[in-house]
Amino acid sequence: MPADLAVIGLGHAGLPFAQAACAAGIGVIGYDPDERAVDAVNAGLRGPSGDLAAADVRRMLAAGFRATADPAALGRVRTAVICAPVPVGEDRELDLSALEEAGRTLAAQLRPHTTVVLQSPVYPGTTEEFLRPLLEKGSGLRAGHGFHLAYSPVRGFAGPKVIGGLTPACTEAAAAFYARFTERIVRARGLREAETVQLMETNYRHVNIALANEMAVFCHDIGVDVWDVIRCAETRPFGFQAFRPGPGVGGHTMPLDPNHPPYQGRMRGHPLRLVEYAQEVNARMPRYVVQRAAALLNEHGKSLRGARVLLLGVTYKPDLPDQEGAPAREIGARLIELGAQLSYHDPYAPEWRVLDRPVPRADSLWEAAAHADLTVLLQHHRTYDMQGLAAKAQLMLDTRGATPVGAAARL
């Protein structure tokens, strides 16, 4: 009997998705072309992107999950969910190379009546215009007839699951699968609507973080505590959702603007000017953090050049090792270029490189904070005792609002 599900791509989205399916009693195999990642998962080690602890992976293995780099395994499943990474390059264009590889690999093994779902953050039209031809050409099957094709936004499992299919039958096939381990299914009208849900959610996050970042700069200039402003504002029972400022916006899903050159020829309509401006605001935050660091040192009679600067937390999410898009690297690079003596501490990053060279890692956090001229909190991991560290540090700049009022300079 064929397995129920193949998850293609065992990165930050794929492995947690496989875990949720395993927990629901679904037979799951995980495919990834990276044999090292496959070996690590099958050995019960921490997930390749760090989103799952080793204990979580071992529980999956005990439930029957296995990872493989053998494409033949994809020909024995009823449902295939593609979770290929789709990073944004320096030119702000999506890199679809991993998705292309996943599509070609699956197509060569695709059986009739299989349900294929793309679950990667892509631009509207990608499933139908990019993935569909790959699957049809490689398999000889026709989407909507020989196999079902659908899209579902990357959301984790914090809420309802949105599904949009090439045809109504495709939507229902995908919905029937997700209903096995998701309480509520929301059916979009089609593929593009479901893909645009992902775009809307991502842009919403970035636009609102940009507002919080602009307010942080404004509040600092007029001597107002932005963290207290947010604390009070979020008590409003309607019309306000709290977003908090920070040193920059990381992550695997970045905002996309149809007016940007890679998309101008594909999309009609008005440019998303608010999204474009939000990107500019958020992209300025690493430079602003460095400016604040220099100003703080200067207020205490020290120069950034030659100063010992300790960075706390270099990952983009708290309590996870994922560094995708983390602002720490740009901040570190700017500090080095301005002559600072840089070191770092992060319990989830045993090694860290900036400008293609390793940055010294602090072995003793408390001693490093006491020795540094300036300690900068970039990511608030739960293991950090921020009240104690703020008292120990000579100077501290807190970009996450994690220290008590008056204990440190805050963004």
- Alpha carbon distance 63, 20 (integer Å): 12
Decide if 294 contacts 373 (C-beta within 8 A): no
Is residue 195 one of the residues assigned to a domain?
Answer: no
Q: Domain range holding 158? A: 3-189
Angstrom distance (rounded) from CA 41 to CA 10: 9
Stretch 259-283: mean pLDDT:
70
Scored b (16 or more CB within 10 A) or e, 353-363 reads ebeeeebeebe
Model confidence at 255: pLDDT above 90: no
pLDDT at 87 over 90: no
pLDDT score of 1 more than 60: no
Together in a domain, 167 and 238: no
Residues 151 and 283 in one domain: no
Residues 6, 81: Cα–Cα separation, whole Å: 6
Same domain, 167 and 218: no
* Confidence band for 264, pLDDT divided at 50, 70 and 90: very low
Over residues 226-248, the pLDDT tens digits come to 999 999 999 999 999 999 999 98
For residue 408, the SS3 value is coil
* Band of pLDDT at residue 108, cut at 50, 70 and 90: very high
pLDDT of 261 > 60? The answer is: no
pLDDT digits (tens, 9 = 90+) for 9-19: 998 889 999 99
Residue 52: predicted pLDDT: 80
Q: What gap in Å lies between CA 348 and CA 53, rounded to an integer?
A: 12
| Co-location of 128 and 233 in the same domain | no
Per DSSP bridges, beta strands 374-377 and 66-68 are unpaired
Q: What angle do CA 241, 249, 199 make, to 5 degrees?
A: 70
What pLDDT is attached to residue 321? 86
φ, ψ at 318 (rounded to 5°):
-70, 140
Domain boundary among 189, 221, 245: 189
Residue 133 lies in a domain: yes
Is residue 399 included in any domain, yes or no? yes
Q: Is residue 194 part of a domain?
A: no
* Better pLDDT: 260 or 255: 255
- Judge if 31 and 159 occupy the same domain: yes
240 and 96 together in one domain? no
Residue 407 CA to residue 402 CA, distance in Å, equals 10
Higher pLDDT, 338 or 269: 338
Q: Report pLDDT for 299.
A: 96
Q: Is residue 201 domain-resident?
A: no
- Indicate whether 170 and 228 sit together in one domain: no
Do 185 and 233 belong to one domain?
no
Nearest-CA neighbor of 325 among 117, 124, 121?
121
CATH code of 235's domain: 3.40.50.720
The pLDDT, as a whole number, for residue 343 is 97
* Domain identity same for 82 and 142: yes
Distance CA 400, CA 407 (A): 13
Does residue 324 belong to any structural domain of this protein?
yes
What percent of the chain is modeled with pLDDT above 70? Answer: 92
Pairing assessment for the beta strands 396-398 and 409-410 based on DSSP bridges: parallel
- Out of 160, 189, 218, pick the residue that ends a domain: 189
121 with 247, same domain: the answer is no
What global pTM score does this model have? 0.88
Q: What is the mean pLDDT of residues 37-41?
A: 92
pLDDT (average), residues 40-46: 88
Give me the mean pLDDT over the 255-277 stretch.
Answer: 62
Question: What pLDDT, on a 0 to 100 scale, did the predictor assign at position 45?
Answer: 82
CA-CA distance, 393 to 244, in Å (whole number)? 24
* Pairing, β 374-377 against β 396-398: parallel
At residue 268 the predicted structure's pLDDT band, cuts being 50, 70 and 90, is low
The mean per-residue pLDDT over the stretch 108-130 comes to 95
Mean pLDDT of the chain: 91
* Residue 276 predicted with pLDDT over 80: yes
Identify the domain boundary among 156, 189, 222.
189
What integer pLDDT is reported at residue 260 of this predicted model?
47
If pLDDT is split at 50, 70 and 90, which confidence band does 265 have?
Answer: very low
Distances (CA, A) of 217 to 233, 246, 247: 17, 11, 11
Decide if 202 is inside a domain.
no
Q: Is the pLDDT of residue 120 over 50?
A: yes
pLDDT in tens, 183-238: 899 999 999 999 999 999 989 999 999 999 999 999 999 999 999 999 999 999 99
pLDDT digits (tens, 9 = 90+) for 285-321: 999 999 999 999 999 999 999 999 999 999 988 998 8
In this prediction, residue 50 carries a pLDDT of: 67
Does residue 197 sit within a domain?
Answer: no
Question: H helices within 110-190, ranges in order?
Answer: 126, 132-139, 168-178
Query: Angle formed by the axes of helices 273-299 and 191-222, to 10°?
Result: 30
For residues 141 and 92, state if they share a domain. yes
Same domain, yes or no: 96 and 162:
yes
Question: Residue 82 class from Cβ within 10 Å (0-12 exposed, 13-18 middle, 19+ buried)?
Answer: buried
Percent above pLDDT 90 for the chain? 80
Q: Report angle CA 249, 251, 253 to the nearest 5 degrees.
A: 105
The total number of structural domains in the chain stands at 2
- Residue 93: the pLDDT is 77
Q: Length of the chain in residues, anyone?
A: 411
